[in-house]
């Protein structure tokens, strides 16, 4: 006698059985949720379903639009805030420079030997500049050459 292993049904047999069961359940689901069947049985329910679909699509599109606007506004705000910060830094530097100049001038005032004594007799009075007419100003402006700058500059 020769011993041979028993042949068990392979995966093909089990796959075929599961496919039959799946096919049967799909046909049950397709039959139960058929759109044509729902329209025939309850047209108001089909209309409500279409309205709900439209509302969901509209809400989704509006959310996409609002998200895009939010990102745009956030970018604008951050660039404006960076500009504000740079302005504040420049203002602080200007105030520091003014303070240094003020300290320098106060130091010079405390040392009177560095200042030159003066009186009103030593002041120089300059005559006011001659009044220019509008035509003379126009001629000076016309003498300027206006050219277009290259794009990007």
pLDDT given at position 21: 56
Give the H or E element holding residue 148. none
Record the tokens describing residue 123, joined without a space: 């002041």
Find out whether 89 and 95 touch, Cβ atoms under 8 Å.
no
* pTM for the whole structure: 0.39
Average pLDDT, the chain: 77
88 vs 83: CA distance, rounded Å: 9
Query: Whole-angstrom Cα distance, residue 138 to residue 132?
Result: 10
Report pLDDT for 47: 83
Q: Which residue has the tokens 């303070």?
A: 99
Q: pLDDT tens digit string along 8-59?
A: 555 555 555 555 555 556 665 565 566 677 677 778 888 888 899 999 999 9
In angstroms, the CA 91 to CA 84 distance is 10
Closest CA to 23 of 15, 12, 35: 15
């Amino acid at each position: 006698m020769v011993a041979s292993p028993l042949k068990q049904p392979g995966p093909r047999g089990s796959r075929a059985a599961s496919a039959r069961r799946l096919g049967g359940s799909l046909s049950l689901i397709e039959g139960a949720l058929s759109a044509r069947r729902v329209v025939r049985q309850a047209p108001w329910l089909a209309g409500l379903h279409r309205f709900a679909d439209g509302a969901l699509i509209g809400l989704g599109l509006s959310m996409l639009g609002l998200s895009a606007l939010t990102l745009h506004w956030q970018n604008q705000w951050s660039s404006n805030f960076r500009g504000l910060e740079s302005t504040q830094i420049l203002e602080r530097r200007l105030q520091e420079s003014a303070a240094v100049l003020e300290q320098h001038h106060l130091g010079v005032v405390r040392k009177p030997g560095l200042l030159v004594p003066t009186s009103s007799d030593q002041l120089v009075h300059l005559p006011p500049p001659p009044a220019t007419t509008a035509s003379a100003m126009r001629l000076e402006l016309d003498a300027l050459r206006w050219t277009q700058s290259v794009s990007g500059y």
